[in-house]
Chains A and B, each alone.
Chain A
Amino acid sequence: MLVDDNPERAQLVEERLWDCGYEVVSVIPSATGLLYQIEQHSPDVVLIDLESPDRDVLESLAIVNHHNPRPVVMFTQEEDPEYINQAVNAGISTYLVGGINPEHVKPVIDVAIAQFRSFQALRDQLNSAKIQLEDRKLVEQAKGLLMAYQKLSEEDAHKLLNKLAMDNNQRLPDVAKTVLATLSPKGRGSKK
């Protein structure tokens, strides 16, 4: 069973788990109804987003196991700090339900950790691509303004921006932002 409020990531992890021969009995976005879901599906393993507020709910099931027929225990049999570290950094926590052998579960966790990580990497890549694109746009706009107001060639405008960046010890896009704020009609209007 998978508890994750990020539907894209949940789908990736679910597909990968099926590919690896595991049966995903339920995928839920939040643990509203978590207790009910566990009773309904009796999963062997619950994989849950580390940042889910419902982890305390899940852990409480382990503690009150004399009331609840489906105890949930965190994967700590190994007491391997490095492994736990990896899982926490990947953003996943794992709970075993019932008397399943932890050795059989490790591959499931490995798959989940790998998928969580690659999802994170994908998102980081997308973010940095987005930032790069925005940066380039800013620089182009600043160049355009410099060419219009200072009657510079494109090459000279670019050189000027570079020089400003060097002199002020700033990144090129940051200089571009300053230039835009001072030179753009809106920026000039608001200054007056």
Chain B
Amino acid sequence: MTVTKHLPPPEKEHLKVGFMRLTDSAPLVLAQATGLFSRFGLDVELLREVSWANLRDKLVVGALDAAHLLAPLPMMTSFGAGGLRANLLTGLSLSLNGNAITLSRALWEKLHWEKNPDAAGMTQALARHIDANRDQDVLTLATVHMFSMHTFQLRMWLKAGGIDPDRDVRIIVLPPEQMGDSLARGIIDGFCVGEPWNTLAVQQGSGAVAAVGYDIWNNAPEKVLGVTETWHNHFPGTHLRLRLALMEACQSLSDPQQRTLVAEILSRPEYLDLPVKILMPSLSGHFSIAKHLPPVAIRDFHVFGRYFAGFPWRSQAQWMVKSSAVLLGKKISDDHCQALVQQCYRPDLYREAARFLDIVSPDQDAKPEAAHSGEWHFDDGIVLGADRMIGGDRFLSGV
């Protein structure tokens, strides 16, 4: 992809961009290492942060210009749930999929993967296990943030097996890096987390994977490039250049060689600080769900560039607001939901960038969800990925 039109100048050149210690920070890390940011006239400093709350707060006070954010966070920060309230928005999704549900090795063994070798079979087996152990303490499962696809995917998976996520289990929040240790020490029985933290638990032998994110919702939204509305209004040219650099990085990550390269870069101390062999399984899609099992091919474990992954679909933003409302136990009116979605998810900004790269982009803001089991034609020249949800379309109105 090349930029064929004259780009507006950047209002600001030196940028601080925050990210979390996760494999799906790959587009940012690759854009930095291959000089994409500087090609677009930006001097970017990547800063590793330790919590989503930190990314949010630093964005809000201007200590960061942009951040790698959980897809629901722009809406929920604008709504003011749980922490500091501020208007955030995104004009670019950074990735689809990338999560998995890992259970403690002991619990996983009891569910007999060999007889129930998929996400649906494992949740049904877990439901039977819970039923048979009603006299025991409820299981504790961890997610990385209340308003995350991790929480939603965990709830969808449990509900698909007939498990009530509010009554039959206890769901708590833990930082990704503490998941493996908490599992090994028996503080939790399982977790839903992004890579490389599932693979690390698998390789250390403390856990085994019961479901990968793709099998819960094919090509689910995952991370976005978040900025504050104020920042976007002050620096629209800079924001455009940042999105262009990252769109190119995401696109090149469709190439397996680039994924190998990014694994090497990600393994450096300033990024993930973990061996390449822990990062490669999810990036290559040759993934071991348990230490004793050989790797299997897992489709689209991370999607960065294919299927117009960068397009911020408002149908997905709406789904995330509805699902968040369920967690909050609050009713968010349709009008309020629409307003949040319009303000926070900005497909117009994606289209603006796509025009500069001479690539087509979807001309509608929403698409059907939970309706396709394979690739499908959305529009002329626009092929999107599967979008099935576990349990069919019964979670269409949120989870």
Contacts and interface: CB of A to CB of B under 8 A. Distances in A.
Contact of A51 (B54, B82, B84): B54
B174 A50 contact: no
B145 A50 contact: no
Interface stretch (A14-22, A80-88, A138-146): A80-88
Contacts of A79: 85
Given A76-B84, A84-B84, A93-B57, A54 B172 contact: no
Contact of B50 (A51, A63, A85, A88): A51
Given A59-B146, A64-B146, A88-B58, A53 B85 contact: no
Given A63-B146, A63-B328, A93-B57, A54 B51 contact: yes
A42 to B, nearest CB: 19
A60 interface: yes
Interface residues of B, number: 30
Contacts of A89: 61, 63
B51 A32 contact: no
B269 interface: no
Main secondary structure of the interface of B (DSSP, over half): loop
A66 interface: yes
Contacts of A57: 172-175
A74 B83 contact: yes
Nearest to A51: B50
A94 B59 CA distance: 17
Given A53-B178, A56-B53, A63 B58 contact: no
Contact of A56 (B52, B60, B61, B81): B52
Contact of B82 (A32, A35, A53, A63): A63
A55 B53 contact: yes
B81 A63 contact: yes
B329 interface: yes
Contacts of A93: 53, 57
B172 A35 contact: yes
5 contacts: A51-B54, A60-B82, A74-B82, A76-B83, A84-B84
Q: Which 5 A-B pairs have the closest CB atoms?
A: A60-B173, A53-B175, A55-B53, A53-B50, A63-B146
